[in-house]
Amino acid sequence: MVQNADGQPVRIGVVGLGTIGSGVVRLLVDSADHIGRAAGRPIEVAAAVVRDAHKPRDLPLPAARISTDIRTVSRDPTITLAALLVGGLEPARSMMVELLEQGKDVVTANKALLAEHGPELFDLARRLGRSIAFEAAVAGGIPIVAAIGECLAANRIESIRGILNGTSNFILTRMEEDGSTYAEALAQAQARGYAEADPSMDVDGTDATQKLAILTHLAFGAWVPWKEIPRTGIDTVDIDLIRYAGELGYRIRLVALARRADGRLALRVAPALVRAGTPLAETRGAYNAVSIVGDAVGRMFFHGLGAGQMPTASAVVADIIDTVVGRAAITFRTTGVLSADTPTARLAGVDAMERHFLRILVTDRPGVLARITGILGDHGISIASVIQHDPIDAGGSAAGGRPGVPLVIMTHQARSSAVRAALDAIDASDVVHGRSACLGVLDE
Amino acid sequence: MVQNADGQPVRIGVVGLGTIGSGVVRLLVDSADHIGRAAGRPIEVAAAVVRDAHKPRDLPLPAARISTDIRTVSRDPTITLAALLVGGLEPARSMMVELLEQGKDVVTANKALLAEHGPELFDLARRLGRSIAFEAAVAGGIPIVAAIGECLAANRIESIRGILNGTSNFILTRMEEDGSTYAEALAQAQARGYAEADPSMDVDGTDATQKLAILTHLAFGAWVPWKEIPRTGIDTVDIDLIRYAGELGYRIRLVALARRADGRLALRVAPALVRAGTPLAETRGAYNAVSIVGDAVGRMFFHGLGAGQMPTASAVVADIIDTVVGRAAITFRTTGVLSADTPTARLAGVDAMERHFLRILVTDRPGVLARITGILGDHGISIASVIQHDPIDAGGSAAGGRPGVPLVIMTHQARSSAVRAALDAIDASDVVHGRSACLGVLDE
């Protein structure tokens, strides 16, 4: 905790002046009056650390305060708090250790670092009497970390459903609204600064999975190595799937799920069908959303910008204020999760009982439909609807002229293990082209 | 702040064992393990105060701990925290003063008390070094007080739109979905325990207005006597208005609004048209919703149960935990609003520039439409659409056989002062029956 001292400015360090770091510096300067009131004293960026000190920056920060040496922050005894705003694992991890060991409280937005090294870093901070605040690491501007850790503290959390990756959601929304192909939508996301030059962590579901691992710690008090969470990205979704789902009154969203299941936790990140008009389905563009069910509060829903410079900076600065006034230290001390002592979650299998949406590309000849539905029936899967679409013309399709006729099937409730087994048999048949698509349907 | 002490139970007092108080006692007992972990020590209800000690109660609380004397809580030096869960102004105000003066931190859900006496009570608490926490006073289980006061602290709040009264929203939703009349829907709300025997504070907008006054303090740092906020309740809404709005793609919701307008605040509570499919329109039943725009975070949306025993108890217990761990004291000290020094808000006039939805009951004879539209034109109001409905049959109408033919008009953007003036002229004409209805249209 930074001590209150007669309105003297709090001197903080900002490590990383990329998109988020620049936003934080700007917000601290542009809203200095407002933020100073909330913190009880002015907040001053005393030092910033970057990779390239010579890069031109249009920031309200004297060049003399910018260096490439973490020690300008960590070894300055007048700096008590550091915002660690670099991504990835290294050098972020070493920097966090150096900052904590030198007695700094840390605020960070780095979800990969926490999902990978959270327990040991949080333990280190506790041993050293320091705090780590990380509201910005999950769902950008949505205060979901505070909501779960503090506001819903009286609740046993039953389940979480979230749209946690703004880039993926932007791409899916563009495909759905404009009929853009996946590649076109991704290029738009990159042009608008939502997606990195290498967007693989966003579109393969890694980013959402790391965030889900952090939320799972907070909500269920259990530690999950993020790589153990079953994960499918949106790179498996094409424009035809979005269209066929739309015809049935559904949208496709990348949904992160966590729920209690017989003393275990069922977790997954995957594209799923959500009914148009429901809150998750109406979450568009770079917005994020989280729906939480608590035993006392019932269903709570949060919606806000999950990506972008200023929404994330808003969350980082809220954490800086919380740290300055001393709330972060209390929260960090009392919220006992994310330590190495936290039990590892016992994961339930991924065998969800739900409706499934299938797209199977078949050779258009008599008897094919009977054969496919026969295989499904053999696996105990009953069918709610089948639509045989016209053959895809090469121009309109994302995949550009996939062979075969698309058969779109909505099943009744079925075990996903049974559906997968049936699809394996179906895909092995000589009337099916390529691998069939299978998405879960999240009815409310 | 209650001191941490070796896992010794924190002894608290609960004043009022009505719906909310009973819920709090139940939650503290049923979720004792979970709540004790979050608070760092067990929480024990050491004493409860009620109006009638002989009333049978099915609560996990020994009868010996229940009395009618506030002093069993306030004068017990081992009790450091009281949950004040009685409604209305007196004796709630005197009880709050007694509790604070005897050194107790207070948690309350009483929005009327805060809207009426907030500044002096908060000043008293500050002078005495005590805290008052009041998350449960606004929007039930939705953590909107924490969101504005803490999580969005880095933001200059631009506007708030909220559905803050669960009873009103339940009634409007029932009318819309079942075609219930206002009286039938109110009876259902009473049967389900959402509405009091005397529902006037809910349906006349008082409750939502008091909550808006509290949110306005938090968001804009200004004090507004709630009675100065222009207020219209849902008792002005009939089933026909809901139907006609529905035909145009809108729903009617009781919306509390606050926004900055040229250095002043524009505030109001009134039924308004919101487009179907938007988050406020899809807020149904006893749910509440709040949409906030901050300069950094953009638009945030919160949705959850705003009424009912356990959602409200969830918020009260979160505040109890916050007080026990010491966060509430910090928040109360640093959030400088709600003191007698808080400037009184300068209210903007209610002259909103928006589209308006009018329902005028006219005599069905030639030239009437021309006369009405002529008066609107004379006031500079241009019309987007006019629908002349068939005369209302007595059976289907809430008002039961209102005379005249309903003319439903949607205007283009117009000053509400001009619309009101035009309607006064229209209502004075000899072809119009009764008073015309006029609702604002909240396009996004």
Closest CA to B360 of B304, B315, B408, B312: B408
Residues of chain B with CATH 3.30.70.260: 353-442
Could you say which of B34, B295, B313 has the minimum Cβ distance to residue A156? B34
Distance CA A303, CA B427 (A): 43
A310 touches chain B (CB under 8 A): yes
Distance from CA of residue A410 to its chain's centroid?
A: 28
Averaged pLDDT for residues B397-409: 70
* Residues β-bridged to residue A227: none
What would the pLDDT profile of A245-303 be if each residue is shown by its tens digit? 999 999 999 999 999 988 899 999 999 999 998 899 999 999 999 999 999 999 999 99
Q: Give the residue ranges of DSSP H helices in B379-429.
A: 416-427
- B102-124, pLDDT tens digit by residue? 999 999 999 999 999 998 999 99
| Chain B interface, best mutation among A29, A288, A290, A297, by max B CB count within 10 A | A297
Q: Where are the alpha helices (DSSP H) in B181-308?
A: 182-191, 200-203, 206-220, 239-247
Domain B144-279: CATH superfamily, name plus number: Dihydrodipicolinate Reductase; domain 2 (3.30.360.10)
CB B106 within 8 A of CB B98: no
Arithmetic mean of pLDDT over chain A: 90
The one-letter amino acid at A355: R
Pick the CATH number of A10-140+311-334 from 1.10.3720.10, 3.40.50.720, 3.40.50.300, 3.30.360.10: 3.40.50.720
Q: Nearest CB to B297: which of A151, A156, A314?
A: A314
Higher pLDDT, A204 or A395: A204
Q: Looking at beta carbons, which residues of chain B come within 8 Å of A37?
A: 336
Closest CA to A134 of A118, A157, A151: A118
A60 and chain B in contact, CB less than 8 A: no
State how far the Cα of B147 lies from the Cα of B292, in Å rounded to an integer: 10
Residues B11/B79, Cβ–Cβ less than 8 Å: yes
> For residue B438, what pLDDT is reported?
96
Contact at CB, B317 and A153, closer than 8 angstroms: yes
State CA A217 to chain mean position distance.
14
Peptide bond into B91 cis (omega under 30): yes
User: Is pLDDT above 90 for B325?
Assistant: yes
d(CA A142, CA A132): 18
Choose the weakest-confidence range: A88-97, A137-146, B69-78, B337-346. Answer: B337-346
Do the Cβ atoms of B151 and A150 come within 8 Å? no
- Which pLDDT value is given to residue A366? 86
Cβ distance A335 to B38 less than 8 Å, yes or no, reads yes
Which chain B residue has the Cα nearest residue A306?
A: B297
Shortest distance between the Cα of A151 and any Cα of chain B, in A, equals: 6
B167-171: average pLDDT: 95
CB within 8 Å: B151 and A318: yes
| Confidence category of residue A1, pLDDT binned at 50, 70, 90 | very low
- If one compares A194 and B232, the residue with the highest pLDDT of the two is B232
Residue A90 pLDDT greater than 60, yes or no = yes
Within an 8 Å CB–CB cutoff, is residue B277 touching chain A? yes
Nearest Cα residue to A86 out of A135, A137, A121, A37? A137
Question: Which residues, including other chains, have CB under 8 Å from residue B3's CB and lie 6 or more apart?
Answer: none
CATH of B10-140+312-334, one of 1.20.1250.20, 3.55.40.20, 3.40.50.720, 3.20.20.410: 3.40.50.720
Segments of chain A assigned to CATH 3.40.50.720: 10-140+311-334
Kindly report the CATH number that applies to the domain delimited by B353-442.
Answer: 3.30.70.260
CB contact under 8 A, A37 and B336: yes
Query: Counting one residue from A and one from B, how many pairs have CB atoms under 8 Å apart?
Result: 184
- Is B334's CB within 8 Å of A40's CB? yes
Whole-number average pLDDT of chain B: 90
Report helix, strand or coil for B129. coil
Mean pLDDT across B87-115: 96
The first and second tokens of residue A19, run together, are: 């998109």
Report pTM.
Answer: 0.92
Task: Check pLDDT > 60 for residue B77.
Answer: yes
Using CB atoms, pick whichever of A156, A311, A334 lies closest to residue B31. Answer: A156
Pairing of strands A250-261, A264-275: antiparallel
Q: Which of A282, A314, A333 sits opposite B152 (nearest CB)?
A: A314
Type of residue numbered A274: V
Task: Encode pLDDT of B194-246 as tens digits.
Answer: 777 788 999 999 999 999 999 998 999 888 999 999 999 998 899 999 999 99
Write the burial class of residue B4 (CB in 10 Å: 0-12 exposed, 13-18 middle, 19+ buried): middle
Please, which residues 326-385 of chain B have a Cβ atom closer than 8 Å to chain A? 326-327, 330-331, 333-336
Residue B339 confidence (pLDDT): 61
Q: How far apart are CA B176 and CA B227, in angstroms?
A: 29
Report the candidate in B303, B167, B241 with the shortest Cα–Cα distance to residue A279: B303
Strand duo B132-133 + B157-163: pairing: unpaired
Is residue A336 over pLDDT 70?
Answer: no
Residue that is written with structure tokens 């003066």 in the block: B101
Answer with the residue of higher pLDDT: A403 or B90.
B90
Query: Tokens representing A354?
Result: 């739900």
Q: Which residue of B has its CA nearest to A292?
A: B304
**Which tokens is B80 given?**
């450091």
Chain B residues touching residue A147 (CB < 8 angstroms): 143
**pLDDT > 70 in chain B, percent:** 94
A166 reaches B (C-beta below 8 A): no
Minimal-distance CA residue of chain A relative to B134: A151
Q: What is the pLDDT of residue B187?
A: 92
CATH number of A148-306: 3.30.360.10
**B351: its two tokens:** 């002259």
